[in-house]
Amino acid sequence: MKILVIKHGALGDIINGTGAFSAIRQAFPKAMITFLTEPAYERLAWETGFFDDVWIDTRSKNPFKIWALCQKLKAQKFDWVFDLQNSKRTCWYFQFFGRRFPGSEPQPQWSGIALRCSHPQRRPDRRQLHAFLRFADQLKIAGLNLQDQEALYPEMSWLKADIRRFALPEKFIVLVPGSSKRGAYKRWPAEGYGKLAQWIRAHNVTPVLIGGPDEADVIASIRFVAPQVFDLSGQTSFLEIGEIAKYALATIGNDTGPVHLAAAVGCPTLILWSKASSPEVFAPRGQHVKVLFKADIKTLSMEEILQALQPFLEERTHHER
């Protein structure tokens, strides 16, 4: 049996989908499962162990490239397609090779929202469902036995990385002060993170900074006011971020991929959330997660963050690596 699973980014969306990926693999243990995703998540997809092959979708707007990808998909003659992206683009993919025309190859079983697909998720509130609930509902409609699970939480037992090269301090809190440039409106001000880093250091805990090229200016601002931070910006892979978070007292950050990753591996996580999206639909979940919501994230005060952080520190004052 050949199965295609479709899920593009961003990183938080990929992490949110791991519970569904695991459920599909468990339902079809002997199937050849191909994953279609963005270039940035190719290595991560391989590392999960849920897939036998990983294909890249650049989501090009070039009609010739779209046609070439659709031809490649059609040539594989998949028995099942689980569209977990459910975008206009992926619905168009279904229209390309999903319908049955006289004399054409049999259509694959298709789970998603595409018009006339075999296993449609049609519930009117699907956009208001959290990803963990939405994926569970979609797979149940497709006939998968989820053993009474109403939500598919991230399945991260596969995530392992060697982080010895970083020589991390014994007690530390991960700070994720940035986001992609496209998501800069989700950021709590760098000045606030600088003061937060000072507070953490004053309490004999080391602030560890995580970020990429898009956050270089934010990281520089924090280092200027808190030079004793442990700066790992630009040095960590997705796998390493997840492994680091396993040993942190807590992770504090904006609505961005590494924070979702930290929450998924069980790290006590404090996520600073703005009106950019609904936390009820998109935020990480679990007893170890706290969401601090402000419509205007700049109005979130340092006092509110410290008050929410305190229970995490009390619960995890001693942590062995």
Alpha-carbon distance of 280 to 320, in angstroms, equals: 33
Phi-psi region of 83 (alpha: psi -120 to 50; beta: other; left: phi over 0): beta
Residue 60 has pLDDT above 90, yes or no: yes
Question: Does the model's pTM come out above 0.85?
Answer: yes
Residue 319 has pLDDT above 50, yes or no: no
pLDDT tens per residue across span 78-89 = 999 999 999 999
Instruction: Report the side by side order of strands in the sheet with 2-6.
Output: 53-56, 32-37, 2-6, 80-83, 109-112, 119-120
Confidence of residue 105 (pLDDT cuts 50, 70, 90): low
Alpha-carbon distance of 108 to 117, in angstroms, equals: 9
Residue 294 has pLDDT above 70, yes or no: yes
Mean pLDDT of the region 125-143: 96
Phi-psi region of 112 (alpha: psi -120 to 50; beta: other; left: phi over 0): left
Is residue 161 within 8 Å of residue 237, measured between CB atoms?
yes
- Per cent of the chain over pLDDT 70 is 95
Mean pLDDT of the region 181-204: 92
Residue 144 has pLDDT above 50, yes or no: yes
Average pLDDT along the chain: 92
Alpha-carbon distance of 30 to 283, in angstroms, equals: 33
- Please name which of 77, 55, 58 lies closest in space to residue 2, comparing C-alpha atoms: 77
Residue that has been written with the tokens 């997809």 in this structure? 45
Residue 321 has pLDDT above 60, yes or no: no
pLDDT of 98: 53
Instruction: Report the side by side order of strands in the sheet with 206-209.
Output: 230-231, 206-209, 172-176, 250-254, 269-273, 289-293
Residue that has been written with the tokens 């982080």 in this structure? 163
In sequence order, the 6+-apart residues with CB closer than 8 A to the CB of 141 are 111, 119, 120, 121
Mean pLDDT of the region 33-56: 97
| Domains identified in the chain and CATH numbers | 2-141 (3.40.50.2000), 165-315 (3.40.50.2000)
Residue with the larger pLDDT of the pair 148 and 106? 148
Residue 101 has pLDDT above 70, yes or no: no
Mean pLDDT of the region 196-214: 95
pLDDT of 35: 98
In sequence order, the 6+-apart residues with CB closer than 8 A to the CB of 179 are 186, 187, 214, 215, 254, 255, 256
Mean pLDDT of the region 102-115: 82
Is residue 37 within 8 Å of residue 56, measured between CB atoms?
yes
pLDDT of 148: 86
Residue 320 has pLDDT above 60, yes or no: no
Residue 62 has pLDDT above 60, yes or no: yes
pLDDT tens per residue across span 66-75 = 999 999 999 9
Residue 103 has pLDDT above 60, yes or no: no
pLDDT of 259: 97
In sequence order, the 6+-apart residues with CB closer than 8 A to the CB of 252 are 173, 174, 175, 176, 196, 269, 270, 271, 272, 305, 309
Alpha-carbon distance of 56 to 251, in angstroms, equals: 31
Residue with the larger pLDDT of the pair 317 and 306? 306
